[in-house]
Amino acid sequence: MARRDTQPGDPFGLAQRPDPVAGHAAERVAQRGRDDASHGIKPHACEHHHHRLGAERQDASGDLTLFSEKIQALKDRIATVIVGQEQIVDLVLTAVLANGHVLLEGVPGVAKTLLARLVARLIKADFSRIQFTPDLMPSDVLGTTVFNMKTNDFDFHQGPVFADLVLVDEINRAPAKTQAALFEVMEERQVSIDGTTHQMGELYTILATQNPVEQEGTYKLPEAQLDRFLMKITMGYPSLEEEVDILERHHANASLVKLESLTPVLTKEELLSLRRLMEHVFVDRTLLQYIALIVQQTRTSKAVYLGASPRASVAMMQASKAYALLQGRDFVTPEDIKFVAPYVLQHRLILTAEAEMEGYSPVKVTQRLIDKVEVPK
């Protein structure tokens, strides 16, 4: 087991401390240069390769300008319906762009379902909604096989899970048996029923909402299922100014925008080509190491009982690339990683009983662990 250092007054080892591994990164780069020189490797040997990469990135940046306008139009359209919550909107769009599933958590009435429906409405793709209830069966979600008397054979009737964008409302209201029906489709984008495998489309994304688990009539999602969500986003209450704005809109009723009247901003093909642009987003090796160090911290912290898996590292890299694209850049910065990391990690950590008794939450611990790792220069 890895050694867990602590300091007096810091029983869980969450105080910020420079990381020696990250600190020596520059020295290792310099050493690699000296090694190359000693082996007769000349710096200009890779010039042709860099020119080719440069040309590819130039093409990608042309597409990027076009899509930046599309994304801005998407955000502007969302702002006409939802007051505030700009950061939440950015995160949801980041997750959709990164080909990941999103879990929105918050108390009733903070526009979780509205945001999920709105995003689905503004992307021109097949949409379906599943309202999870305590008596919902797996066949109600996936579909069922029915005997056809005309053909004397069995026909498969697809369930609501067969769409491009699926809104799973109040996912923690259904029992474990029904929640488990989503396991395969979330990870492998396919459903196996009666020995037959049905493939999902390339765009396939699940937007799930849930109320906090402390509320009555909820079933806690298993860790394996939480791990399949790229991000868990907690929606809080609006600020005073935002709430006044909401009241003014409802008072003037005419300024309330109906979802049905909105026209899609992005087509399915445009979103898929935007996802392909992610291949051209540059991530420096020091930033990959930065991501790995953050995830390593979750495994060695005394406050954490179960740390993040390698799936979390990949998710953090993909999310930071998608967020960079949303900002109109074709390269990732440490700030992109710091922005997405808490939302990628918070639902993947299980805290120790002692840490919970001390009043720590996964969000707080995640933030402290990120702050502990030295940011690459």
pLDDT tens profile 300-338 = 888 888 888 888 999 999 999 999 988 888 899 999 999
How many residues are recorded in the chain? 377
Residue 22 reports pLDDT greater than 60:
no
Residue 15 reports pLDDT greater than 70:
no
Query: For the chain, what percentages of helix, strand and coil (3-state, to nearest 5) are there?
Result: 50, 15, 30
Domains and CATH numbers, the chain: 82-279 (3.40.50.300), 281-377 (1.10.8.80)
Q: Give the residue among 197, 107, 183, 97 at the shortest CA–CA distance from 141.
A: 183
Euclidean distance between CA atoms 143 and 145, whole angstroms: 7
pLDDT tens track for 239-267:
888 888 888 887 777 556 677 777 888 88
Euclidean distance between CA atoms 298 and 15, whole angstroms: 14
Q: How confident is the model at residue 47 (pLDDT cuts 50, 70, 90)?
A: very low
pLDDT of the residue at 333: 92
Residue 180 reports pLDDT greater than 80:
yes
Q: How far is CA 95 from CA 91, 127, 258, 318, in A?
A: 6, 17, 25, 9
Share of the chain above pLDDT 70, in %: 82
pLDDT tens track for 275-297:
888 888 899 999 999 999 999 98
Euclidean distance between CA atoms 125 and 266, whole angstroms: 9
* pTM score of the predicted model: 0.77
Alpha helices, DSSP H only, in 143-222? 176-179, 183-188
Euclidean distance between CA atoms 319 and 348, whole angstroms: 15
